[in-house]
Structure 1
Amino acid sequence: MTRGALAAGPLLLAGVLGGRVADGVLAAIAAMLAGINDRPGSRRASVRRLGMPALAGALGLLVGTYAGQQLSAVPLTLLLTVLGLAAGGISAVGPVASAAGTQLLVTAAIGAGMPAAESGWQRALAFLAGAGWLLVLRLVLPTPGSLSGDFRFDGERAAVADVYEAVAALLDAVGGANATARRAALTAALDHAQDALAGPRLRRYAGSAAERRLHAQYAAALPLAEAATALAWAGEPLSARAAEGPRRLAAAVRGNTGTGPLPAPSRSAPALRALDNALLRAAEAFDRAAGGGEHRLLARRRSAKDAVRAALGTGGREYGLRVALCFGASAAIAQALHHARWYGQHQHWYWLPATAVFLVKPDLGPLASRVLSRAAGTVLGALVFAGFAALLPRPAGLIVLVAVCGALVPVATRNFAALTAVVTVLVLALVMAGGEPQASAGRIGETLLACAIVLIVGHLPMPGERGAGVRARLAAAGSAAHAYLVHVLSESGDRAERWALRREAYRTLAEARTAIALAAAELPALARHTEGTDAVAAVLERLVDTTTACAVHLDDSGRLSPRHSRQLQEALDELEQRREWVGPPVAA
């Protein structure tokens, strides 16, 4: 909230005081969009999470400005449609790519439709300055409560500590009804820590002791997570003593202190022996990291080839087509209204395609709910702004209103309707600060029209199979499970490779689960295309859990027990029956 308050409002003020109001408005818009992408976490991860969408937004503004100046309505609409196709495909790669694709299209529409005397490169620089200002605030300002230590790594340290807490919670839940949920929570904690530590190096001499220590502490958590998962698979309840060691490790990470004595668990079973050994190795790693040494992040990085495959795959193609249709259709309708004499002067035609871009994003929730949330939030925000506009002095009151809305954006991101209401007030304030008349009624009309377009296009039949996004996620999870299983059964001694494969298997499963949950919440016309996929994900999870238990057992005894072999075969047989969702059969 502090970063939000110090971003858009001060940037608009600087533009007004410097006599460059248009640049101040663009910089404030960039800060607002960056604020929507700003999330709790590490500073390193924020560079990519905020920087990549900002670069895409600057590119969109550059292309949109020159296209709007040089092209007539029809060629411009065709260009925007092609951009929508490309950005939609890119959005299927992952959350950061999705944010980048969204900003590319939103700023392209703004650049094409917002009149300005500045050239495209000047507008792009103003946009980058606004987003860069918020990124600087993210990197420089300490998190509250972190001033007592090295606040540069507070997000990373908290993420690694959460992993150890999640291991302890899973050990407490072994044998109970919450074990599956706790294992999923452990996966989420590992994913978050992996992302927190995988950002770019922010200093010239990045190999500091604190940094090496965090990497070593994360790496030491991986065998603990493996042993805890194997114990959850076995399903025999454990004593409270088993979870005490990981909790002490979590406290050591969080407080940046030594571990002290760690209580050893019982060694009566292979998974318990693995847990004990992992605790011993963790204690040694914590001590070694304090004195130096090199450690690497034990995780597979997704290559550019993987990203291209996702963008051009079935999920990317389906998403790209829908985005292109929504963006192109809304741009065409908006320009037709803009030039229609009976409609009057349509000053903000870019609002319609920009709104459609946000509405068509499937990662913001089910289609019907996000359309309703957008409509309700826009109406509320427009009415609130109409009241403020009648009372506030200009431009000082509008600048204060922009600053307040910027501070509210991080809180409002928890609910799409609330975020829409806050952003609506902020955008209308920026429009009025730029010298244009109050536009609440127009904003409501544009949003309702965009809602109708997206609802129609979102339910249109598309070439190929429906549910392509879910199908692609399940196929990726099946491939990752296959690679992990083959490595474990080969009895390779490369533990780092095994843990990296295990991380990839669980991460892709979590992504598939998220896609399935979103698809299941759609209206019946869309949800029916992904019926049964939840059961497929459950079988894959059971296979990966069993593979983890096999890995721990093989380390201890060198052979599989009948129970391990039987459950592996059962999971493989079930996947063979559902191969239409996961691709070729997983064969051991």
Structure 2
Amino acid sequence: MAHPSRPRTNRSPVSRPAVPAWLAHAFRAQRGPVPWSAMTRGALTAGPLLLAGMLAGRTAAGVLAAIAAMLGGINDRPGSRRASVPRLGVPAMAGALGLLVGTYAGQGLAAVPLTLALTGLGLVAGGLSAVGPVASAAGTQLLVAAAVGAGMPAAESGWQRALAFLAGAGWLLVLRLALPTPGSLVGDFRFDGERQAVADVYDAVAALLDAVGGERATARRVALTAALDHAQDALAGPRLRRYAGSAAERRLHAGFAAALPLAEAATALYWAGEPVPARAAEGPRRLAAAVRGSTGTGPLPAPRRSAPALRALDDALLHAAEALDRAEGAHRGLLGRRGGLRQALRAAVGPGGREYGLRVAVCFGASAAIAQALHHTRWYGQHAHWYWLPATAVFLVKPDLGPLASRVLCRAAGTVLGALVFAGLAALLPRPAGLIALVAVCGALVPVATRHFAALTAVVTVLVLALVMAGGEPQASVSRIGETLLACALVLVVGHLPMPGRRGGGVRDRLTVAGSAAHAYLLHVLGESGDPTERWALRREAYRTLAEARTAIAVTAAELPVLARHSEGTDAIAEVLERLVDTTTACAVHLDDTGRLTPRHLHRLREALGELEQQGIQVPLPTAA
């Protein structure tokens, strides 16, 4: 009730200023189940490796092995065992090479030639990092290890240090391949990650069918693309046998191949926008349970065949159940990226690769030069490990870890927190037992800390400071904070420097690749080719490249305004390309059923192509359409 002496007035609602995207991104964290298996492996690597080195009288080698295990733990993500071989092994080999090169360069070159050599190495590693996640991790470890090798004084030779590094990373890989994980005892032990990935595809199809016609349908379609990408990567890892695999392996390949027409039909229903019967999602969920439990599919729900997409869905369900029960082999061509080597080279030398390579080279070289110049000054105090500054700059300059401003804020906050925590613990823990235990605990926390860059930075800071002290060095929390803040300032400056070529070239290059993939898919469908395997492979490539472009656009949009403006309008182009690919998928399903397209299909195609033309992108419609 209003107060009698205060007349009621109409007040407009108070509008709160929106949080800038670059600041909001710094508070976002990934979600998911606790990675207990990865945490167990982390606890069994860095700490025990350090202890083994101390017991053997080779503390320096134990420190290097623990560093390799820590870097490997950052890359120890959920997935199949076979996919973990390149994900962990390739960066480890790159790190060993960097340690070898850095050690001999640091011993044989003066400051200026060494700085130039590190700058050139940064240029190469930066360009290669634009190829993909594994290449990016390899580039990071190459440069970090090169800086450590050049700046860390040690009695060991370069090849001995490289072997110690490989031993640490190899021990983590052995644990990844040998230790059981939740669900690994169901069916063939080796394929637990592949089973989960393929089952997730069927669950994603069911979730999309449940959401068709609703507000969450688009998000579920995006989730289906992510599930297909993950399953494709899991099954495309190194084969355990060169030729015919086991029955379990053949069943998984057959299950993935059978999920592709099912996803195609579900996407066509999503495009139509009309809700489907609730029982339509029961079939994919039963198939998911059959894959996850390595059991038979059992009876499927009665079909509804009132529309072409529903008929395609029913046929795909029956085919998937039959393929899983018979465990037939799948087409291997569905698992690889189309033109993989060509696309990798194009990414490395394209606009994005060149721009990224130049920024990495400038950051890495400048930080090495500044660190060496400060090496003999009092600013460093007793702790004179100049490699920390370039190693920190390498992590900060990487765009796949988030927008620049977010990376800098998270790195600064995480380092300050980690250094303060370690300073307190170092005053209380006994040595060396307490330091070894602290390294083991931090190693276990690394896999879960990867969900937020600040948390990861804090854990890694504690771990590295513990390793330094275990190696006989004094407490270095203060110098660690100073070097990190200096690296943050350097990367901020370099990140805003103008570079040759068009700014935002990486995003536009990915959009160009996505547009080419969408065009190839459209031409194949409207050409009425009778090869469904080729169509599914083209469809996978179209959606995958679009997802990669969307990720790059989202990162750029959360940059500071001076950087974000260079990619304005790219999100609208990606949205139109997605509608074009969705419409092409609906056309494919309808052509399979009726042999012709409806006016609605043609109108939506021409509408999407017209919008792309307005954006300066030419995707011609075939004459037959």
Considering the TM-score relative to the shorter chain, is it more than 0.5? yes
> What's the offset of the Cα at 1:345?
5.5
CA distance in 1, matches of 2:620, 2:210: 32
CA distance in 1, matches of 2:340, 2:243: 26
User: Any conservation in 1 of the 2:583–2:605 contact (CA below 8 Å)?
Assistant: yes
CA distance in 2, matches of 1:293, 1:126: 41
CA distance in 2, matches of 1:469, 1:38: 26
> What's the offset of the Cα at 1:20?
0.6
> What's the offset of the Cα at 1:146?
3.1
> What's the offset of the Cα at 1:147?
2.9
Does residue 376 of structure 1 match 2:391?
A: no
CA distance in 2, matches of 1:215, 1:149: 15
Does residue 566 of structure 1 match 2:603?
A: yes
Q: Report the residue type matching 2:461 in the other structure.
A: T
Does residue 40 of structure 1 match 2:83?
A: no
Task: Please name the residue that 1:93 is paired with.
Answer: 131
User: Any conservation in 2 of the 1:9–1:402 contact (CA below 8 Å)?
Assistant: yes
Does residue 84 of structure 1 match 2:122?
A: yes
Report the CA distance shift for 1:502/1:378 in structure 2 as closer, same or farther (over 3 A). Answer: same
Does residue 58 of structure 1 match 2:96?
A: yes
Report the CA distance shift for 1:263/1:123 in structure 2 as closer, same or farther (over 3 A). Answer: same
User: Any conservation in 2 of the 1:385–1:428 contact (CA below 8 Å)?
Assistant: yes
User: Any conservation in 1 of the 2:236–2:336 contact (CA below 8 Å)?
Assistant: no
> What's the offset of the Cα at 1:233?
0.4
> Which one of the candidate residues 232, 237, 244 is aligned to 2:270?
232
Task: Please name the residue that 1:417 is paired with.
Answer: 454
Q: Report the residue type matching 2:489 in the other structure.
A: A
**Deviation per residue, 1:378-422 (Å, 9 max, x gap):** 011111111111111211111111000000101111111010000
> Which one of the candidate residues 318, 334, 341 is aligned to 1:280?
318
Deviates more, 1:300-309 or 1:160-169: 300-309
Task: Please name the residue that 2:400 is paired with.
Answer: 363
Does residue 523 of structure 1 match 2:560?
A: yes
Q: Report the residue type matching 2:588 in the other structure.
A: A
Deviates more, 1:387-396 or 1:227-236: 387-396
Q: Report the residue type matching 1:388 in the other structure.
A: L
**Deviation per residue, 1:252-296 (Å, 9 max, x gap):** 11111000111132111111111111111112111210xx55653
Task: Please name the residue that 1:318 is paired with.
Answer: 355
Task: Please name the residue that 2:173 is paired with.
Answer: 135
SS at match of 1:391: coil
Instruction: Provide structure 2 residue ranges, at least 5 long, that are not aligned to the other structure.
Output: 1-38
CA distance in 1, matches of 2:241, 2:576: 44
**Deviation per residue, 1:40-60 (Å, 9 max, x gap):** 111011101111111110111
Task: Please name the residue that 2:482 is paired with.
Answer: 445
> What's the offset of the Cα at 1:144?
2.7
Instruction: Provide structure 1 residue ranges, at least 5 long, that are not aligned to the other structure.
Output: none
> Which one of the candidate residues 365, 368, 372 is aligned to 1:335?
372
CA distance in 1, matches of 2:325, 2:131: 39
Q: Report the residue type matching 2:104 in the other structure.
A: Y
Does residue 298 of structure 1 match 2:327?
A: no
Report the CA distance shift for 1:527/1:273 in structure 2 as closer, same or farther (over 3 A). Answer: same
Q: Report the residue type matching 2:335 in the other structure.
A: A
Q: Report the residue type matching 1:487 in the other structure.
A: H
Task: Please name the residue that 2:465 is paired with.
Answer: 428
CA distance in 1, matches of 2:378, 2:331: 67
Task: Please name the residue that 1:113 is paired with.
Answer: 151
User: Any conservation in 2 of the 1:299–1:503 contact (CA below 8 Å)?
Assistant: no
CA distance in 1, matches of 2:146, 2:294: 46
Report the CA distance shift for 1:586/1:427 in structure 2 as closer, same or farther (over 3 A). Answer: farther
Task: Please name the residue that 2:30 is paired with.
Answer: none
Task: Please name the residue that 1:159 is paired with.
Answer: 197
Report the CA distance shift for 1:508/1:550 in structure 2 as closer, same or farther (over 3 A). Answer: same
User: Any conservation in 1 of the 2:510–2:549 contact (CA below 8 Å)?
Assistant: yes
Q: Report the residue type matching 1:103 in the other structure.
A: Q
Q: Report the residue type matching 1:513 in the other structure.
A: R
SS at match of 1:268: coil
Report the TM-score when normalising by structure 1.
0.97
> Which one of the candidate residues 267, 274, 280 is aligned to 1:242?
280
SS at match of 1:142: coil
Report the TM-score when normalising by structure 2.
0.91
Deviates more, 1:141-150 or 1:326-335: 141-150
Deviates more, 1:156-165 or 1:384-393: 384-393
User: Any conservation in 1 of the 2:236–2:335 contact (CA below 8 Å)?
Assistant: no
Q: How many residues align?
A: 583
> Which one of the candidate residues 251, 263, 267 is aligned to 2:305?
267
SS at match of 2:127: helix
Does residue 70 of structure 1 match 2:96?
A: no
Q: Report the residue type matching 2:422 in the other structure.
A: F
Report the CA distance shift for 1:545/1:340 in structure 2 as closer, same or farther (over 3 A). Answer: same
SS at match of 2:334: coil
CA distance in 1, matches of 2:191, 2:244: 12
> Which one of the candidate residues 169, 178, 203 is aligned to 2:207?
169
CA distance in 1, matches of 2:350, 2:595: 40
Report the CA distance shift for 1:239/1:294 in structure 2 as closer, same or farther (over 3 A). Answer: closer
**Deviation per residue, 1:115-168 (Å, 9 max, x gap):** 011111111111011001000000000113433443321111011001001101
CA distance in 1, matches of 2:318, 2:504: 46
> What's the offset of the Cα at 1:578?
1.3
Runs of 4+, deviation exceeding 6 Å: none
CA distance in 2, matches of 1:12, 1:342: 30
Q: Report the residue type matching 2:129 in the other structure.
A: S
Q: Report the residue type matching 1:240 in the other structure.
A: A
Q: Report the residue type matching 2:578 in the other structure.
A: E
User: Any conservation in 1 of the 2:380–2:479 contact (CA below 8 Å)?
Assistant: no
CA distance in 2, matches of 1:204, 1:360: 39
CA distance in 1, matches of 2:183, 2:533: 35
Deviates more, 1:421-430 or 1:139-148: 139-148
Between the aligned residues of both structures, percent identity stands at 85
Task: Please name the residue that 1:29 is paired with.
Answer: 67
Task: Please name the residue that 1:513 is paired with.
Answer: 550
User: Any conservation in 1 of the 2:333–2:537 contact (CA below 8 Å)?
Assistant: no
Task: Please name the residue that 1:555 is paired with.
Answer: 592
Task: Please name the residue that 1:349 is paired with.
Answer: 386
**Deviation per residue, 1:187-215 (Å, 9 max, x gap):** 00000000111100235776100000000
Does residue 207 of structure 1 match 2:239?
A: no
SS at match of 1:339: coil
CA distance in 2, matches of 1:476, 1:216: 29
CA distance in 1, matches of 2:367, 2:191: 44
CA distance in 2, matches of 1:265, 1:379: 60
Report the CA distance shift for 1:564/1:431 in structure 2 as closer, same or farther (over 3 A). Answer: same
SS at match of 1:159: helix
Task: Please name the residue that 1:404 is paired with.
Answer: 441
Q: Report the residue type matching 1:401 in the other structure.
A: L
> Which one of the candidate residues 552, 570, 573 is aligned to 1:536?
573
User: Any conservation in 1 of the 2:213–2:273 contact (CA below 8 Å)?
Assistant: yes
